[in-house]
Amino acid sequence: MNTVIPDVALIDNSDERAPLVLVLDCSGSMQEEKKIQLLNEGLKALAADLKSDPIAARCGRVLIISFGGDGNVEIMGDWTDAMDFTPPELMAGGLTPLGAAMRCALDEVESQKSQMRTAGVSYKRPIIMLLSDGEPTDDWRQVAAECKSAETAHKVNIMAIGIGDQANKETLGHFSNKGALSLSGLKFKELFIWLSRSIRAVSRAPAGGTVQLNPVDSWTRLST
């Protein structure tokens, strides 16, 4: 008798998810110098670049949290697989509740991890990328300390990035053990392409190891 089963299809769920939370400043000052438009264009580039890579499209899980605007801190839709990610059109206005936004990001990361664990889905260490062009207008010190200890406990990787010269890099630096970087010349698109390539690298890396990311000089000025 034949011992090859005909017509069996195998799905490929072997990949591990790479969660990414973007915490984006949409305060009033983001209207200046078309920053909000450039940010929106950058997000579109991120979506397109993630989708163009089959592994990143399957592995990436994206959530956007905006702060500023009318609603203060807003979770823009649900977590989505990179292959289904359509960026929202962000509007600028209002204050800069950066602390509350980062608190929300930490909570969302933990709840997403617990959902994935329940579903038996394995995952890489999540990344939170914080982008801000100003000063927090809320109480941020306690949350910043929690961000650093979450990093120390290997719960999350945090990248804090200041937009333009008005950003308070010193404050932003308190949110990550790696300090803050500056986005030079409003190169949002370069930043998000770099981020997409980083997600590609993370999705391909074996579990438990470290990943060498591309150099960041396409979008930041590094002091020497």
Partner 1 sequence: MWRVFSASTTGKRNLERGAAGQDATHCLVTDDVLVAIVCDGAGSVPEGRTGSDFIACALVEELSSTLRADRNLTQVRADGGARLEATIRCAVEAARTRLADLAASRQLALHDFSCTLVGCVASPSGGCFFHIGDGFAIARGAAGDCVLSRPENGEYADETYFVTDENWMNHLRLTPLPAPERGSVIGLMSDGTAPFAVDRARSGFFRPFIDPIAAFLREATTPNGNEALRNLLESPRACEISQDDKTLLLAFVL
- Cβ(49)–Cβ(197) under 8 Å? yes
Beta bridge partners of 81: 61
Q: How far is residue 132 from each of residues 32, 54, 64, 71, 164, measured CA to CA in Å?
A: 13, 30, 14, 17, 9
| In 82-201, beta strands by DSSP E | 127-132, 157-163, 180-183
The dihedrals phi and psi of 66, each to the nearest 5 degrees, come to: -110, 150
Contact 130, 162 (CB under 8 A): no
Cβ nearer to partner 1, comparing 24 with 150: 150
Crossing angle (nearest 10°) for helices 141-152 and 98-118 = 30
Q: What is the three-class DSSP state of 92?
A: coil
> Smaller CB distance to partner 1: residue 119 or 224?
119
CB 121, min distance to partner 1, A: 7
**Smallest gap from residue 84 Cβ to partner 1 (A):** 12
**Nearest to partner 1 of 11, 152 (CB atom):** 11
34's tokens: 């078309």
Both tokens of 5, joined, read: 């089963």
Q: Decide whether 153 or 212 has the Cβ nearer to partner 1.
A: 153
**Residues near partner 1 (CB under 8 A):** 1-14, 16, 113, 117-125, 154-155, 207-208
Q: How far is the CB of 103 from partner 1 (least distance, A)?
A: 21
Q: How far is the CB of 14 from partner 1 (least distance, A)?
A: 4
Rounded to a whole number of angstroms, the minimum distance from the CB of residue 117 to partner 1 is 7
The token pair that represents 81 in the structure block: 């697989």
Structure tokens at 191: 């930043």
In angstroms, what is the minimal distance from the CB of 3 to partner 1?
4
- Residue with Cβ nearer partner 1 (82 or 216): 82
CA distance 143 to 103: 6
Question: Would you say 113 or 189 has its CB closer to partner 1?
Answer: 113
